[in-house]
Amino acid sequence: MDGNIVGLPAGYRDIMFEDAALRRRIETEFASVFSSAGFREIIPSAVEYLDLYSRGNQGIRERAVRFLDREDNLLALRADFTPAVARIVTAHLREMPLPVRVWYSGPVFRKTDRHSGQYREFSQIGAELIGGDPPDADCEILDAAMQCLVMSGFPDVCVHVNHAGIFRGLVNSLGLAQSELAEVRSAIDRKDMRALGTRLEELGVNGSVRAQVSALSRCVGDSRALAGVASSIDNAESADAIAGLEFLALRLPRWRDRITFDLTEIDELEYYTGVMFTFLSPAHSAEVGRGGRYDSLMREFGADLPAVGFSFSMDKLGECA
Amino acid sequence: MKNRALIALPKGRLYEKAVDLLGRAGIRIPPAPDGSRKLVFPDADGRFDFVLLKPIDIPVYVESGAIDAGIVGSDVLREREADVYEPVDLGIGKCRLVLAAPAGVALSSAGSLRVATKYPRTAELFFRARQLHVHIVKLDGSVEIAPLLGLADAIVDLVETGRTLMENGMHELEDVARVSAKLIVNRTAMKMKSADVRHLITLLDTVVYENPGQQK
């Protein structure tokens, strides 16, 4: 027992002096960008019902740090900010004119494997724009994210952009059964393009669509690369999505050199419904944040509103500063 | 120079096959002088950096991003449940993960079978999918002698030829998984070292599928 007085539980740490000062500085810079862009801060409760995490991004619920309160309700330490924001906006919808712009900063807690070397407390900072439609809201949120990064001392940061609709449109045009779709998804998640091609062929998918899937699986680049894929796409949903990305780059000339269209990254397709962002620090070869449009999440909370947002890992920002 | 992609090669049964495959893809791994070499070494043309690691550690390194890519058996990969890309099934090091037991032990008798294995997570998933309740005993080596010594009733282990099983008086009850070596790639490296990593993928994909040569 004595050892537990001066020790820390596995997966947790204290953040000291210079590191703490660095985080404070980054947070202050972010706060000033958020404030001038019209985003208002919220501090969501650190404790939620575990059930909050049964909506939206799957896998969070499994990893939530859970406990019982005195009334035996199953609770969790905050495991993600976005569901909390969705809960708050839904509850206060009548008082808040749309669109709602909020930002947040604080710790989230997730179980990690013992001896995996991963922390169980993460620090996140991010923003959400709820009730705003693409393309305007997408441009606004990406612009805010890039400003935050550049203002707080990450001059070389870049963003990989994708759109969930491109792949979804293609897959929907295949007419596959649920189990077949799962296999196709699994090959895509692994980026095993050979297995994907073979499976699509076995499923009787025609050569033209297979060629489109293969073009997507290779598309990483600027507007020209995007245009190359656009010319081969023949379903409306994918074509609209590509047009949305082209528009994004057009509307944000300031960031155009930092935008890479990466249509190969199709993780979390169940969660995102539109644009998807991955923020990267080239100097450290590290991912520092993610974001995107998730129009179906608010509906699960009972308010049918479009939403787009991003979240940075303060831990990663601290390492890359 | 410093930003060459760093690739992990597995020590042990896969090593020679991996080096041979890379060679056929045009990536020549220089032989170690006197069996000793630097921790990190480039291929003969200096296109990639390599590091030799125990297979079980490779998924952890690649998932964390400490290493950009690696070659590792799917047995180890499944056991570690690493969140990485698996762009190429290399088709080398093929074998099977099987449930095996001494004569007289049947799967149906698994009221509370004790099963020894180096793959506790994979074994657990296998038995759970069959709704069988078993006790897993995790071992680090020579799993096949566990039933002989009375530590376990059955084993889940790799089988290449089946000879070791036979010599220990065991027979296969069921296939747990087909195993072969995979190229795995870190998710961020796929973006940040895109050119290097994609070059490696293309070279390996080509040699495995389009120009298999004298595939063993």
- What CATH number does the domain containing A164 carry? 3.30.930.10
**Taken in order A202, A208, A210, A211, is the CA torsion positive or negative?**
positive
Nearest chain B Cα distance for residue A46, angstroms: 28
For residue A78, is it within any domain? yes
Topology at the third CATH level for domain B6-93+180-210: D-Maltodextrin-Binding Protein; domain 2 (3.40.190)
The number of domains in chain A is: 1
Give the CA distances from residue A260 to residues A111, A148, A188, in Å, rounded to whole numbers and listed in that order. Answer: 33, 19, 20
Flag whether residue A62 sits within 8 Å of chain B, measured between CB atoms: no
Q: Report pTM.
A: 0.89
Domains B6-93+180-210 and B95-179 share a fold: yes
Residue A184 forms part of a structural domain: no
CB contact under 8 A, B191 and A193: no
- Measured CA to CA, the distance from residue B67 to residue B57 in angstroms comes to 11
* Amino acid in position A117: G
Q: Please indicate if any CB of chain A lies within 8 Å of the CB of B65.
A: yes
Residue B51 CA, distance from chain mean position: 16
Q: Does domain B95-179 have CATH number 2.102.10.10?
A: no
Q: Dihedral sign, CA of B197, B199, B200, B206?
A: positive
Q: Whole domain around residue A103: which residue ranges?
A: 3-173+235-320
Does residue A115 belong to the interface with chain B, where contact is any CB pair within 8 Å? no
Domain edges within chain B = 6-93+180-210, 95-179
Q: What tens digit of pLDDT does each residue of B34-49 get?
A: 566 678 999 999 999 9
| Structure token pair of residue B179 | 């195993």
pLDDT tens digits for A178-221?
A: 888 888 888 888 888 888 888 899 998 888 888 888 888 888 88
Is the separation of the CB atoms in A287 and A271 below 8 Å? Answer: no
Q: Which residues have CB under 8 Å from A24's CB, separation 6+?
A: none
Would you state the pLDDT for residue A174?
82
A-chain residues within 8 Å CB-CB of B209?
194
Q: Is residue A226 part of a domain?
A: no
Element (H, E) at A166: helix A164-172
Residue type, B37: R
C-alpha dihedral over A33, A243, A224, A238, to 10 degrees?
120
Residues 6+ apart with CB under 8 A from A266: A162, A164, A167, A188, A189
Instruction: State whether A116 and B205 contact (CB < 8 Å).
Output: no
Tell me: the pLDDT tens digits for A89-126?
999 988 888 999 999 999 999 998 877 788 999 999 99
Asked if A44 and A81 count as a contact pair (C-beta separation under 8 A), the reply is: yes
Chain B hits for A258, Cβ within 8 Å: none
Q: Which helix (H) or strand (E) holds A320?
A: helix A314-320
Q: Is the pLDDT of residue A28 over 50?
A: yes
